[in-house]
Structure 1
Amino acid sequence: MTGLFVLLGMVAKADNNPIVVGNSRFTFITENLVRMEYANHQKFLDDSTLFAVNRQAGNVDVKVEKKDGKYIFSTSMMSVEFENDGFPFGQNNVRVSFEMDGKRKSWCMTDEQRNNLGGAVTTLDAIGSPIPLQEGLLSRDGWYLINDTGKDVYKNGWLSVRDRDHVQDLYLFVYGNDYKSALRSLKAISGAVPMTRKYVHGSWYCRWWQYTADDYRDLVKGYHEHDFPLDIMVFDMDWHRKDGKIGTGHAFTRGWTGYSWNRKLIPDPGALIREFHDQQIYVTINEHPHDGIRPHEDVYREFTRALGIDADKDPVPIFDAGDRKYMDAFMRYAHQESDSMGVAFWWLDWQQDYAYPVVRGTTTKHLPWLNEIYYNYSKQGELRGTGFSRWGGWGDHRHPIQFSGDAVGNWNMLNFEVKLTTTSGNAGCFFWAHDIGGFYDGLDSELYTRWTQFGLLNSSLRIHSVVGDKMDRRPWLWGEREEKAMRRIYH
């Protein structure tokens, strides 16, 4: 086992890391992060997962002792006491101790978080009052455990099921009150938050509405006339045709998935996008990929040809994020026409886990996996990657920025979004694109102005709203006093 020191009953040297004892392996990623694996026949795992992208041992000074039949592995932050009884980790054979507030504290497998400081949430869709936060890494307990057991392996750029002999895969962060060291350890195992494109932190206009090309031009003209900057124009769902006759559908329609431009509304989308780009306004467009590319789409025959399918005889291929050939063809033919027109990035509006809980052939949910695929796709042409999708959990900090979903606009939700934005950093989620003012309701002009003030301190000034005559959040439509206040915010 090259590069490993295998303990066979002797005391190890202090400079060996990882450490293997029977079927157990301990890898100290940092001084306050230990990975604990149990694998039959020592079939340990070095490949990545969506959470753990760098499993290599760090340059950590680990002291190894054997005392009273137990092994003790110590760093400056923790001491791991392990009894090699031949069984997976449990409350009887492994215990970790550490110093906190001048006292000696301990951890075992059955301990629960009692003082977690909170993390992110996957979505605020239709939420109108505070909801429980997911757990974050930081806790007044002084430790946090991420259990990666059984998660699919990310190998050669694709998901594969983990070997069943790999029984346990635990990541224990032990940091006491040193929260910065905990976040550094998260970066060490799960990667850094990448640099974003500058313009995503600017002013966005987004509204679910059947806008024509001239309507979009009038919107941009209005921003200029009222002296409000605009960096991103979002084309919500009506940019594409909605004439699909088959498919799983969503919201009691089969029209949400679509990739063929609605040229009745936007006759020459390429010209419109170029016109905006000449004004330093970038265009992103909404998509719901759950129904894939269907026969009514302009590119269907090219798509099926790439898959080796007879468009006239074979069944329509359903969306399959677990099949590399399908997804390579899908990402190309669903997006290439619009990309060639100058679309800056795509808004992945995935809401269909109720119909498709996991990626076929895997144990992974669609959202984190699609976020990975779309973010990598966005880096074409040596661009910085740009994601725009709901939060997918541990490791999704590598795909900024995050869309918090279709929240209800009220004072309670504004207050909650402030809290959420703060605590999300505990999971590495630093860049939110909230629906400023709320997606639903939120017709109080002072509420909207205050939400805009919050947006200034957040990572983007992104307005968004549901279909409705009154649901338009252009800042000059809310009263003279409010317009003046919001202009100061935008500038």
Structure 2
Amino acid sequence: MSRNVQECESVDYQQIGDRIQCGKARFSALTEGLIRLEWSATEQFTDTPTLCAFTRPHPIPFTSISVTDDGALHLQTKIIHLIYHPSAEPFNNDNLQIEWETGNLSGNWTPSTLDNKNLGGTVASLDLVHRNLKPTGVHPANVELSYPHTEEWLYTPLKAAHQQLRKQGETTRFENPPLWYLSSFRRRDLPPAVQTCLEQWQHFPPGILSASGYSALNDSQSALIQEGKLTQRPESDTQDWYFFAYGYDYTQGLKDFVQLCGSIPMLPRWAFGVWFSLYDQMSDRSYQALCDRFTELELPLEVLLLDVDWHRSGWCGWDWNRELFPEPSQFLQWAHDSGLHIGANVHVDGVSPEESQFLALCKARNLDPQKVKSGEAFPVKDPTSSWFFDSWHPEDQQSDTSHLKSEDGWLLFNLAQPDEAQLFMQELHQPREAEGIDFWWIDGSNAQFPGVNSQLWTNHVYWTHQAQQSQRRPLILSRTGGIGSHRYPVQFSADTYAHWDVLKFLVDFTTRAGNVGVSYWSHDLGSFFGHVPGVPVIDPELLVRWVQFGCFSPIVRFHSDHGRREPWHYGTWVLNAIRKALQLRVQLVPYLYHLSREAYETGLPLCRPLYLAYPEDREAYLLGTEYLFGDRILVAPVVEPGGYRIVYLPSGGWWERGTRQFYAESDYLNLYVPLDRIPVFVKAGAILPLAESSLRVGTAPPDSLVLEVYAGADGELDLYEDDGESMDYQHQEGSRRLFRQRHEGYRSILSCDPIRGNYRGMPEMRTFNIRWIGLKPDSQIQGQGVEIAETCWQEEGLFIRLNPVSQSAHWQITAIQN
């Protein structure tokens, strides 16, 4: 490592490697558009990763280092020009300024700059979101402003609000009065902390992307991570900032973000199938009957999620409820033999004395079990005792919870402590994983450490545990915990209400989350709470439209609180519409899997706001209820009753997939959308990789690949595939295959290059079925390097079936249009 000390005009700076230290400040260029700015009163700097800057890249050289006559240090990259006047004071307007320019945008920034064009990030969850209680707009962005309550679980202020009302002599029950009402009309009756929380929660926190072309990230407080363990920063009086400049190149901004904060992992292929869960007393026979019904009605199903009743100790527990699951291993074996995957809900507050592992865990912690039970060992005896709400149940399903009331103390864990976390995962979770639980649905968090978001580190503990236990890809289902949450998918938005306004909100919410890398939101399709408490069914039209949106979301998951979300409860028309949507979903999995790889490599989310691709189109910033699904599909879900939908099409030419109608120009459309149709538009020139319809997705790529080819422009697809669940994808193992469409006068040509790369289990031969939309029906079809087994004209377009072809073959199909 080189060390160069220069003195010029009384400004001393040291160049250590590619970092520049000037007095109490240090600067690093991480990319051309991303720099790190540090200030330390003791001139002690660290290059250790933090919980936020988890994968901070090595610095690159500044393109220019100079000192001007006024004693200012100037550091430049191709995009950023930093000006620093050496000072004993922390960074401020007097000593720090940044000028930047890229593309058509430029700007000047100082630490006090307030950005009102930030495009927003995401919140911890959407618990209790109602048509009258949901975030709107974005808080102003500033490097020293933070909005910690946007990372808070809304059940926390709900509990505090009701405790306050009860102290005032009122009788309350769960959401009676509801939080939306208290927030809107009785805020003065609430504790100040609850008022502050609700005020902050009314808007989204800032994200990485801004229409101003830059953003600043403050990482001054987050804990360090050394050898996988949390450590505190050596001093609290520091500034550790990151400045992003990308102009309208939002794609580069996201790429810089994931380089700094960690890549978005690929999901196992099966995760893109259909999930089902229900908060109710579901037994092994209930799940088996449910799956039989799905199969009978030709409804795809991939994942069963077991809610809290799978265990016997109330909210927190790891021992099977033998009344509902008398033979757990047999149930799990049946599920796996049926091609299903199983996730199980866990609350992580602590371990009650009723758990079979209680005594052994006390012994492992060198704690006297009697002192734990008496409440002497921990400040809190039962961490769930303050949770005094019971969710609603239909009248005939009132559950008896009297046996769960106990005065005994619990064994508490802090997952921020490595020894406790290891014991917690090894003794409580590993036995269930050995039986066949595939992943965990984490309700809540339990990790206390300075500079740590409890949910984020809880997710980290579960994620890394799974990664260490097998060669399969980790997957969890949990709420988010601020910046860095994207590293631990999947996120669930949790307990929303059944309103059209909530569905409309979810569309914008899902795409906005990609601005901080959170690409894998999962929503309760149809909502968790019904519109009317105690009534298990919801508006049938709303359910259909919610499911249709879910099928063009990262994860498709049915869930509710003692509600009915099974499609067959709503009549034939609803059943047929939902079946059509779910079958389309599983056909889309090859495309979704390809997008998962793209998210891993670039940070681009699966659901993308229009401004990611059309940053200079003003309309792209105004349309929160339509989005891009990858780079070649535009989705405009129906989000209001009656089937009416206004759709904006950006420039470039679009095919409406349901009608095969072509729109050549940018335009607003007024559509009537029948119940079984989804407004989906495919970009001209696009090639979509699809699968045949099936009830299970599985892990391996399909033997028969469907290519949907849309004429009207040239286009290509460099399709990624791999074994579907191993960690080999991190080591560049997988295959790529380039498909191209081009038009030469009256000739339209679809070509396929030989496959590049390989993966375990890759087949030697492949069958292709092609649906080519937009060609003239009298076109002559010719094949080169491949045998054409069948051609015919269908309503959707030209259908071509190829005989099995070698993965190493180059082939070409030519359509000559007369």
TM value normalised by structure 2: 0.55
Bigger Cα displacement from structure 2, 37-46 vs 458-467: 37-46
Distance in 2 separating the partners of 1:55 and 1:175: 18
Distance in 1 separating the partners of 2:548 and 2:61: 45
1:111 aligns with 2:113: yes
User: Residue in 2 aligned with 1:287?
Assistant: 346
Distance 1:120 1:304, change over 3 A: same
Distance in 2 separating the partners of 1:304 and 1:174: 52
User: Residue in 1 aligned with 2:573?
Assistant: 481
Shift of 1:16: 5.7
User: Residue in 1 aligned with 2:359?
Assistant: 301
Check whether the contact 1:4–1:18 (CA below 8 A) recurs between aligned residues. no
Deviation digits for residues 278-327 of structure 1, max 9, x if unmatched?
A: 0110110001111x122210111222222233334554532222322111
User: Residue in 1 aligned with 2:26?
Assistant: 25
User: Residue in 2 aligned with 1:362?
Assistant: 450
Shift of 1:416: 0.7
User: Residue in 2 aligned with 1:71?
Assistant: 73
Check whether the contact 1:38–1:167 (CA below 8 A) recurs between aligned residues. yes
Unpaired runs of 5+ in structure 2? 136-202, 378-409, 532-537, 584-818
Check whether the contact 2:358–2:411 (CA below 8 A) recurs between aligned residues. no
Deviation digits for residues 311-349 of structure 1, max 9, x if unmatched?
A: 345545322223221111111122122111100000011
1:143 aligns with 2:237: no
User: Residue in 1 aligned with 2:420?
Assistant: 326
Deviation digits for residues 43-101 of structure 1, max 9, x if unmatched?
A: 10111111102334333443111112101111111100000012211111000011267
Amino acid at match of 2:419: K
User: Residue in 2 aligned with 1:251?
Assistant: none
Distance in 1 separating the partners of 2:517 and 2:43: 32
Match of 2:491 among 392, 399, 402: 402
Distance 1:168 1:462, change over 3 A: same
TM value normalised by structure 1: 0.91
Distance in 1 separating the partners of 2:359 and 2:111: 54
Distance in 2 separating the partners of 1:118 and 1:133: 6
Distance 1:120 1:419, change over 3 A: same
Distance 1:16 1:45, change over 3 A: closer
1:337 aligns with 2:431: yes
Check whether the contact 1:53–1:189 (CA below 8 A) recurs between aligned residues. yes
Distance in 1 separating the partners of 2:237 and 2:278: 48
Amino acid at match of 2:351: I
User: Residue in 1 aligned with 2:809?
Assistant: none
Shift of 1:463: 0.6
Q: Secondary structure at the match of 1:440?
A: coil
User: Residue in 1 aligned with 2:130?
Assistant: 128
Structure label with greater radius of gyration? 2
Match of 1:490 among 582, 594, 616: 582
Amino acid at match of 1:465: S
Deviation digits for residues 115-140 of structure 1, max 9, x if unmatched?
A: 01122221100111331222221101
User: Residue in 2 aligned with 1:457?
Assistant: 552
Amino acid at match of 1:391: T
Distance in 2 separating the partners of 1:158 and 1:224: 46
Pairing of 1:1-16 with structure 2 (within 5 A): 2=1, 5=4, 8-9=7-8
Amino acid at match of 1:482: V
Q: Secondary structure at the match of 1:65?
A: strand
Shift of 1:462: 0.2
Structure with larger RCO (C-alpha < 8 A, sep 6+): 1
Distance in 1 separating the partners of 2:545 and 2:486: 27
Shift of 1:13: 11
Bigger Cα displacement from structure 2, 44-53 vs 125-134: 125-134
Bigger Cα displacement from structure 2, 376-385 vs 48-57: 48-57
Q: Secondary structure at the match of 1:435?
A: strand
Amino acid at match of 2:428: A
Q: Secondary structure at the match of 2:254?
A: helix
Distance in 1 separating the partners of 2:492 and 2:105: 41
Check whether the contact 1:152–1:364 (CA below 8 A) recurs between aligned residues. yes
Amino acid at match of 1:21: C
Pairing of 1:135-174 with structure 2 (within 5 A): 135-164=206-235, 167-174=238-245
User: Residue in 1 aligned with 2:474?
Assistant: 385
Match of 1:202 among 246, 266, 273: 273
Distance in 2 separating the partners of 1:59 and 1:100: 18
Check whether the contact 2:275–2:302 (CA below 8 A) recurs between aligned residues. yes
Amino acid at match of 1:31: E
Distance in 2 separating the partners of 1:43 and 1:323: 26
Q: Secondary structure at the match of 1:41?
A: coil
Distance in 1 separating the partners of 2:19 and 2:262: 20
Match of 1:274 among 324, 330, 333: 333
Amino acid at match of 1:80: L
Root-mean-square deviation (CA, aligned residues, Å) is 2.0
Q: Secondary structure at the match of 1:51?
A: coil
Aligned-residue identity in percent: 30
Pairing of 1:439-458 with structure 2 (within 5 A): 439-441=528-530, 443-458=538-553
Distance in 2 separating the partners of 1:11 and 1:298: 65
Amino acid at match of 2:575: E
1:175 aligns with 2:246: yes
Distance in 1 separating the partners of 2:523 and 2:3: 47
Bigger Cα displacement from structure 2, 480-489 vs 61-70: 61-70
User: Residue in 2 aligned with 1:437?
Assistant: 526
Distance in 1 separating the partners of 2:104 and 2:264: 33
Greater strand fraction, Structure 1 or Structure 2: 2
Check whether the contact 1:153–1:161 (CA below 8 A) recurs between aligned residues. yes
Distance in 2 separating the partners of 1:466 and 1:65: 63
Amino acid at match of 2:577: A
